């Protein structure tokens, strides 16, 4: 919400001023307490209140007169009722505006068109609200003129709320962050810039400097203000002022060299109003505004608009000493305001409204006084007319014309104008529907809204200095002041940063990176390095960084780890080196254990491997038992065979041959698995026996936490807070160390001799420390991920440019060369880089075991199907021969069938079939002999 409503005290002052006007006017009382007229009177009195000779006022006066003529000549609007308009020229005077407003209201005026100025609207609106006379302003754009505070103030143009939102979107579109606001110091200017600040904050941008100007500022005043503005870092200016002297501000800026290459000017819609009204401007005035962006209220093209524009020359002929002037957007809104009021009056009368006035009962007791305060008359139908105004839905010269629930016109939109050459061109549009676009808003309204960042578009802009390259919008200030950069005066690890003895200069890895990045900037940055610390103990980086937002330092250069708490105070650049926390502990040589050959595999791995050896022996035995003599014999021999065969495959030394295709398939897959296991085991065991020669009681961060021994850390490092806050290690266990020699001594002595079990510090430091000390090494893994960066104030553009420069150093290899220059390490550390060789876990081989298991299951399934088919074929004759058909007999026969060798089963089956065939032949022969005998017997008989 827009803030800035007047306080009760201010309202009281307004009423006091109103009463003072009453004294000056000596207005005669209105005859009658309550006078009623007909519902459809012949004449309805309305007023117009604005300065006639302003750029907006002279256009609005002609437009209002034209609208009044059109309304009164069109009987379809008000029938026989005519609008009678009384003009009052305020001439930029607040006091005169109040007097004329009172005169209009006292003349039975039911509505007032105006005022033009937001300052005047603030003064008149309380009068309008108290007397229930609607105030329709076509030009007062102050966003704080809300319907809640001023219910009878109706804005019939666009609020600056939307204009400032458009500017904020443009700032975000071009990725600028700091804006300098130059504005007129009154309600119009202050409130508009306040809204801009709120809109920018939503885009993570800000107004870095405010430059208010008095409404009565002279050229000297403007020059003094802009000269101060020129000393600021930002080169992005938003100018929010009045049309009458906005060009003077730009002319002074041109003379001060502030409209040129590297500068950005966004001007509110007063400039487009000037261009529309007084185009073409003189050549010297056009030179002052080259490359400037301005906004213009977007009004869709229509036949009505084109016809009115063609009438404009005739309407303005003979006006203001025959000096021609053009039609601006405010003129169109002024024209539509008259039609809005006409439609509202028509609805008012149709709803039974009547024009009547009554005295203010609050002032009745003052009747008869010399001040005639009882002459204050309230428009009885004011609330009804106000409701009718807000409910009007029409199409005017400005397009669809109706109000939203918060009292603003629908579909707010602006054109983005770029002044170039002798004219200007449109580079895009803005609407609160879809943001920035190169497509007109009325076309976008037919599509779903899309205000995402990727959808924002503008055509190319020609910036001040006649360049198409987007300005940075920021330069280092040319005020002669050196950038004060704090540098920690360290006593440990001079490779990173150290002070050159006898001088104020610093050297080291961090300084070289900073200098190299600074040299890549497209502008000069004068600076001085200021030491922080006494040179006896390491200063705390957080203490140094806290002085940046306090204004003591403008930046800080050093080995600053980027942490969450520090990032809340300052902005860091892109990290120029990675450096997380690691553990350094003493190491010792160790001999191989007698059972070292068990180490390569984890217990789970050993168990699963042994299980699969047994499974493979059993599977192969099942597949080979019926057809292979090597897998037959007494039970004890078969068990030995299974065990021998399964474990002999480990060395590819199995003597038993596989005969069945299924057995061979399973064995091939298993031998492949064994090959992988053999290779992995051999490699791991070799690594254990030849590489792992070092050991430490601390294995990783978890073992360090669970121990109760002291832990060392670098004094001033963020490691202390991390160990206590994040890992919950007791503060009493932490021992601060101040130098590499203290590290060495504490680690060598160990916890039993007053030392520490390990040291926790950043990896960048430890690489240097371990390069010459082979008795210590990093154990475990790096347990934080961070980096070092240079620190600048919050939202500093220099931080962004330095980050870009650091990335360039990384890409061209300079960053690595600087690293090698200062931080080259010896081979000692490389021998001790890893203390623990990870065991081979089951998770690394589960795919092999799954593949082997599936092969076994598939082979067994196929084998069982084959056995069942064979048994079905031979079981019938076996059961018939034995004369047994019970289930137990069938099961016993199946087990015997499976146990017997396949050749024996087949030969016995074959023999039984032959015997059966022979038996059938003999039987047939016997039956034949008996028949012949009987036949013979019959013959004899």
- CATH code, domain carrying 807: 3.40.190.10
Range picked from 188-202, 472-486, 519-533, 765-779 for highest mean pLDDT: 188-202
pLDDT of 48 reads 94
Q: What band does 411 get if pLDDT is binned at 50, 70 and 90? A: very high
CA pair distance 432, 123, nearest whole angstrom: 30
Domain annotation covers residue 247: yes
Q: What band does 615 get if pLDDT is binned at 50, 70 and 90? A: confident
Q: What is the mean pLDDT of residues 356-376?
A: 64
Given the structure tokens 């006898």, which residue do they identify? 502
Look at strands 776-779 and 791-792 and give their pairing: unpaired
Q: What band does 612 get if pLDDT is binned at 50, 70 and 90? A: confident
Domain annotation covers residue 829: no
115 preceded by cis ω (within 30°)?
yes
Taking only Cα atoms into account, the Rg of the chain, rounded to an integer number of angstroms, comes to: 48
Domain end call among 797, 813, 829: 813
Task: Report whether pLDDT(940) > 50.
Answer: no
pLDDT of 653 reads 62
Domain annotation covers residue 206: yes
> DSSP 3-state helix, strand, coil percentages of the chain (rounded to 5)?
50, 15, 35
Q: What band does 831 get if pLDDT is binned at 50, 70 and 90? A: very low
E strand or H helix at 206, and its extent? strand 206-213
Q: What band does 600 get if pLDDT is binned at 50, 70 and 90? A: confident
Q: What is the mean pLDDT of residues 174-181?
A: 91
What is the overall mean pLDDT for the chain? 83
Domain annotation covers residue 836: no
In tens, the pLDDT along 430-472 reads 999 999 999 999 999 988 888 788 889 999 999 999 999 999 8
Tell which wins on pLDDT, 787 or 625.
Answer: 787
109 and 50 in a common domain? yes
115 and 222 in a common domain? no
Token readout for 53 is 């000779």
pLDDT of 344 reads 96
In tens, the pLDDT along 28-68 reads 344 433 434 446 899 999 999 999 989 999 999 999 999 99
367 and 315 in a common domain? yes
Share of the chain above pLDDT 70, in %: 81
Residue 237: closest CA among 297, 289, 162: 289
The mean-pLDDT minimum among 47-51, 228-232, 422-426, 603-607 falls in: 603-607
pLDDT of 465 reads 92
Q: What is the mean pLDDT of residues 304-332?
A: 85
In the sheet that holds 377-379, the strands lie side by side as 34-36, 356-359, 377-379
Domain annotation covers residue 700: yes
In tens, the pLDDT along 845-882 reads 788 888 888 888 888 888 788 777 777 766 655 555 55
Which DSSP symbol is given to 843?
G
Q: What band does 904 get if pLDDT is binned at 50, 70 and 90? A: low
CA pair distance 32, 24, nearest whole angstrom: 23
pLDDT of 917 reads 62
Q: What is the mean pLDDT of residues 793-809?
A: 90
The three-state secondary structure class of 918 is helix
- Cβ neighbours around 210 below 10 Å, total: 16
334 and 206 in a common domain? no
pLDDT of 924 reads 55
Rounded to the nearest 5 degrees, what angle is found at the Cα of 378, between the Cα atoms of 376 and 382? 155
Task: Report whether pLDDT(586) > 90.
Answer: no
CA pair distance 11, 652, nearest whole angstrom: 102
Q: What band does 548 get if pLDDT is binned at 50, 70 and 90? A: very high
CA pair distance 852, 673, nearest whole angstrom: 8
Domain end call among 659, 690, 721: 690
Work out how many domains the chain is built from and give that number.
5
Domain annotation covers residue 800: yes
The mean-pLDDT minimum among 177-191, 590-604, 674-688, 744-758 falls in: 590-604
Domain end call among 641, 657, 690: 690
> H-type helices in 47-204, by residue range?
55-72, 75-78, 94-106, 118-131, 160-173, 187-202
Q: What is the dihedral of CA 845, 848, 851, 853, to 10 degrees?
A: -70
CA pair distance 874, 186, nearest whole angstrom: 112
325 and 295 in a common domain? no
Question: In sequence order, which residues have a C-beta less than 8 Å from that of residue 386 and are 6 or more positions away?
Answer: 132, 134, 151, 152, 154
Task: Report whether pLDDT(607) > 80.
Answer: yes
Domain annotation covers residue 295: yes
Token readout for 332 is 């169109």
Token readout for 534 is 């006494």
Share of the chain above pLDDT 90, in %: 45
Residue 677: closest CA among 842, 851, 836: 842
The three-state secondary structure class of 631 is helix
633 and 558 in a common domain? no
Domain annotation covers residue 880: no
Q: What is the mean pLDDT of residues 720-733?
A: 89
Q: What band does 246 get if pLDDT is binned at 50, 70 and 90? A: very high
647 and 518 in a common domain? no
Q: What residues does 413 pair with on adjacent strands?
A: 431
Full domain range(s) for residue 361: 43-158+309-402
CA distances from 853 to 566, 623, 663, 849 (A): 56, 15, 14, 6
pLDDT of 934 reads 45
Q: Are 87 and 61 in contact (CB under 8 A)?
A: yes
288 and 336 in a common domain? no
What CATH number does the domain containing 200 carry?
A: 3.40.50.2300
Q: Are 826 and 524 in contact (CB under 8 A)?
A: no
350 and 249 in a common domain? no
186 and 153 in a common domain? no
135 and 85 in a common domain? yes
632 and 718 in a common domain? no
């Amino acid at each position: 919400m827009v803030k800035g409503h007047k306080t009760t005290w201010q309202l009281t002052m307004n009423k006091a001023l109103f009463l003072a006007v009453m004294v000056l006017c000596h207005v005669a009382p209105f005859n009658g307490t309550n006078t009623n007229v007909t519902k459809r009177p012949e004449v309805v009195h309305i007023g117009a209140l604005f300065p006639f000779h302003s750029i907006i006022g002279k256009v609005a006066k002609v437009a209002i007169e034209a609208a009044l003529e059109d309304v009164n000549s069109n009987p379809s609007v008000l029938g026989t009722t005519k609008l009678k308009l009384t003009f009052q020229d305020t001439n930029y005077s607040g006091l005169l505006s109040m007097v004329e407003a009172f005169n209009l209201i006292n003349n039975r005026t039911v509505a007032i068109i105006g005022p033009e100025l937001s300052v005047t609207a603030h003064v008149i609106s309380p009068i309008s609200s108290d007397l229930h006379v609607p105030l329709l302003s076509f030009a007062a754009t102050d966003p704080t003129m809300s319907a809640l505070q001023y219910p009878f103030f109706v804005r019939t143009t666009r609020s600056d709320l939307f204009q400032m939102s458009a500017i904020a979107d443009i700032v975000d579109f071009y990725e600028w962050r700091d804006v300098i606001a130059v504005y007129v110091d009154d309600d119009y200017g202050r409130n508009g810039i306040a809204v801009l600040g709120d809109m920018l904050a939503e885009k993570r941008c800000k107004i870095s400097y405010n430059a208010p100007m008095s409404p009565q500022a002279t050229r000297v005043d403007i020059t003094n203000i802009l000269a101060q503005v020129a000393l600021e870092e930002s080169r992005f200016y938003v100018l929010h002022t009045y049309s009458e002297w906005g060009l003077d501000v730009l002319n002074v800026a041109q003379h001060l060299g502030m409209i040129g290459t590297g500068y950005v000017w966004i001007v509110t819609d007063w400039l487009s109003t000037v261009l529309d009204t007084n185009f073409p401007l003189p050549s010297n005035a056009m030179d002052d505004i080259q490359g400037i962006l301005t906004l213009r209220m977007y009004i869709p093209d229509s036949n009505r608009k084109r016809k009115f524009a063609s009438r404009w020359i005739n309407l303005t002929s003979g006006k203001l000493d025959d000096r021609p002037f053009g039609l601006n957007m405010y003129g169109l809104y002024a024209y539509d305001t008259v039609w809005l009021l006409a439609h509202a009056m028509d609805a008012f009368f149709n709803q039974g409204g009547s024009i009547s006035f009554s005295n203010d009962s609050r002032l009745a007791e003052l009747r008869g006084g010399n001040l005639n305060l009882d002459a204050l008359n309230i428009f009885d139908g004011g609330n009804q007319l106000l409701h009718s105004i807000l409910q009007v839905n029409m199409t005017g010269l400005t397009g669809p014309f109706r109000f939203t629930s918060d009292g603003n016109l629908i579909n707010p939109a602006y054109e983005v104008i770029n002044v170039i050459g002798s004219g200007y061109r449109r580079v895009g549009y803005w609407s609160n529907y879809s943001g920035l676009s190169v497509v007109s808003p009325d076309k976008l309204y037919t599509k779903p809204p899309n205000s995402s960042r990727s959808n924002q578009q503008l055509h190319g802009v020609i910036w001040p200095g006649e360049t198409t390259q987007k300005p940075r919008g920021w330069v280092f200030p040319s005020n002669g002041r050196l950038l004060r950069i704090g540098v920690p005066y360290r006593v440990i690890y001079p490779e990173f940063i150290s002070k050159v003895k006898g001088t104020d200069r610093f050297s080291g890895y961090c300084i070289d990176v900073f200098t190299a990045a600074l040299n890549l900037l497209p502008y000069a940055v004068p600076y001085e390095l200021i030491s922080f610390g006494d040179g006896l103990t390491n200063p705390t980086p957080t203490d140094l960084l806290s002085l940046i937002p306090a204004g003591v330092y403008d930046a800080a250069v050093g080995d600053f780890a980027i942490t969450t708490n520090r990032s809340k105070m300052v902005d860091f650049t892109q990290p120029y080196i990675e450096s997380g926390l690691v553990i350094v502990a003493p190491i010792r040589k160790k001999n191989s254990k007698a059972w070292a050959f068990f180490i390569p595999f984890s217990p789970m791995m050993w168990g699963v491997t042994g299980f699969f050896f047994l499974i493979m022996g059993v599977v192969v035995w099942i597949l080979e038992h019926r057809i292979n003599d090597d897998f037959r014999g007494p039970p004890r021999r078969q068990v030995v065979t299974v065990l021998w065969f399964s474990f002999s495959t480990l060395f590819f030394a199995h003597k038993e041959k596989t005969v069945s295709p299924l057995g061979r398939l399973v064995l091939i897959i298993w031998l492949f698995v064994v090959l992988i296991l053999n290779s992995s085991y051999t490699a791991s065991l070799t690594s254990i026996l030849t590489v792992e020669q070092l050991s430490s009681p601390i294995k990783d961060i978890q073992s360090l936490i669970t121990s109760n021994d002291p832990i060392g850390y670098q004094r001033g490092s963020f490691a202390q807070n991390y160990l206590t806050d994040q890992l919950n290690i007791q503060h009493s266990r932490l021992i601060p160390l101040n130098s590499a020699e203290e590290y060495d001594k504490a680690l060598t002595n160990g916890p039993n001799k007053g030392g520490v079990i390990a040291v926790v510090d950043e990896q960048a430091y430890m690489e240097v420390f371990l390069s010459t000390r082979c008795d210590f090494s990093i154990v475990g893994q790096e347990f934080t991920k961070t980096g070092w960066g240079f620190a600048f104030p919050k939202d500093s553009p220099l931080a962004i440019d330095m980050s870009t420069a650091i990335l360039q150093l990384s890409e061209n290899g300079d960053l690595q060369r600087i690293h090698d220059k200062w931080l080259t390490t010896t081979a000692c550390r490389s021998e001790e880089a890893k203390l623990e060789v990870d065991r081979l876990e089951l998770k690394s081989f589960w795919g092999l075991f799954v593949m082997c298991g599936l092969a076994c299951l598939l082979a067994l399934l196929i084998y069982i199907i084959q056995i069942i088919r064979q048994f079905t074929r031979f079981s019938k004759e076996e059961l018939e021969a034995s004369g047994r058909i019970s289930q137990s007999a069938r099961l016993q026969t199946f087990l015997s069938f499976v146990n017997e060798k396949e050749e024996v089963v087949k030969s016995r089956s074959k023999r039984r079939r032959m015997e059966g065939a022979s038996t059938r032949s003999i039987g047939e022969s016997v039956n034949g002999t008996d028949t012949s005998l009987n036949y013979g017997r019959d013959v004899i008989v």
